[in-house]
Amino acid sequence: MYKYRAEITKGEEIRYISHLDYAGVMERAIRRAKLPAAYSEGFNPHIKIAFASALSLGVVSEAEYMDFELTKPLCQPEVFEKLSRALPPGVKLLRLKQVWEPQPCRGKKHKALMAEVEEAEYELYLPFLGDWEEAAEAVEAYNKAAEATVHRVTPKTDRLIETKQYLLQPVRLSMAGGQLRLYMDIAITPSGSVKPGEILGLLKEQYHLPVDIGRALIKRIAMKGRGKALIDLV
């Protein structure tokens, strides 16, 4: 098998489709590109494809990563060109690299893509509703807090999450095009992580950040492992 790693986007055109639907978009693109995709075995075979870390609904990204396998060797420019032409609006192929597995005789292979993720960087853009000093004080108070806990409730989970343990550096605040911009660098660990929207909710509810979070645009701008973009690990 011949494995490739793609760096792709999830734009505003498809920000409200689920991760499962996004995976389906990429599978259909690979088929439209007529690439010799490798399929799983069993009663319901599917294209061998893996993603790094699922985005929350409504979040866009400049740095999504996907591994997929082909059954025949093709040169990287050919794979890049065919896949690029088959992608729908909102998805752009930025970079593509072949994943060279270590020699089998050494008993090693690349980690699964999801296992390589250690951090994700985000920018959040929000309409500015209040005073700059008020916004700066809210962010500073959050950054100085020893703990800041969010209550996460999902169909499978009901627990408290201490958000500060996952922040690799303080939240940064700036202005961009008349909007507030927040930068967050969040650790992704085997035991879990925190979502940027959860931190934003805390900033609004507990620290009184003067924003309308319903109008926020959250953008993932990087996903890294060992301090490098995931595509640079292959």
Question: Residue 130 is encoded by which pair of tokens?
Answer: 């209040």
Domain count, the chain: 2
- pLDDT of 137 reads 97
**pTM value surpassing 0.95:** no
- pLDDT of 107 reads 53
Q: Provide the residue range defining the domain that includes 104.
A: 2-115
Contact predicate 233/116, CB 8 Å = yes
**Does residue 106 have a pLDDT over 60?**
no
Q: What is the pLDDT of residues 113-135, one digit of tens each?
A: 999 999 999 999 999 887 899 99
Say how far apart CA 38 and CA 64 lie, in whole Å: 21
Contact predicate 233/130, CB 8 Å = no
The answer as to whether 231 is a domain residue is no
32, 122: one domain: no
Percent of the chain exceeding pLDDT 70 equals 97
The pLDDT-based confidence of 103 (bands split at 50, 70, 90) is: low
- pLDDT of 114 reads 93
| Cα angle 206-211-167, degrees, rounded to a multiple of 5 | 55
The answer as to whether 232 is a domain residue is no
The pLDDT-based confidence of 180 (bands split at 50, 70, 90) is: very high
Say how far apart CA 123 and CA 215 lie, in whole Å: 14
73, 174: one domain: no
Collapsing DSSP to helix, strand or coil, 198 comes out as helix
The pLDDT-based confidence of 36 (bands split at 50, 70, 90) is: very high
The answer as to whether 59 is a domain residue is yes
The pLDDT-based confidence of 171 (bands split at 50, 70, 90) is: very high
